[in-house]
Amino acid sequence: MDGKKIKLLRKQKGISLSQLSEITGISKSYLSLMERDIQTNPSLDIIEKIAQAFDVAVAEIVRRDCTDIDFSKGPSQVKSTLKVEIEITDDQLNPQKLRQIQELLNVINSNK
């Protein structure tokens, strides 16, 4: 996940880090870690809260843009590893959550 995308969306919406923290209920320090690409594996719940705050789809938050990659330098720059872990309790499992997980998997598969 690219934290710069969250920072860009936040700036485009004219929202401060403190305001985003208040809107989402996510700590300002955690959001800062995400924007600086120190926290790179947030939970789906966190991503959903951020997507709702920006009024965008979860896929928009996690989609990797390939426009900044120089493919002429060979495959070594393009290789990456993505670890996805989704932890859901029985009471959280509902059709909406399943659609969101499917949307996330579709985005990941489309970037192969």
Give the phi and the psi of residue 76 in degrees, each rounded to 5.
Answer: -60, -30
- CA-nearest of 41, 30, 31, 36 to 87 is 41
For residue 43, the one-letter residue type is: S
pLDDT value of position 62: 82
Domains, the chain, with CATH or none: 3-110 (1.10.260.40)
pLDDT value of position 64: 66
Q: What is the pLDDT of residues 23-72, one digit of tens each?
A: 999 999 999 999 999 998 898 899 999 999 999 888 888 876 644 444 34
User: Does the predicted TM-score (pTM) go above 0.75?
Assistant: no
Q: Are 104 and 58 in contact (CB under 8 A)?
A: yes
Q: What is the pLDDT of residues 65-95, one digit of tens each?
A: 644 444 344 444 444 566 667 777 888 888 8
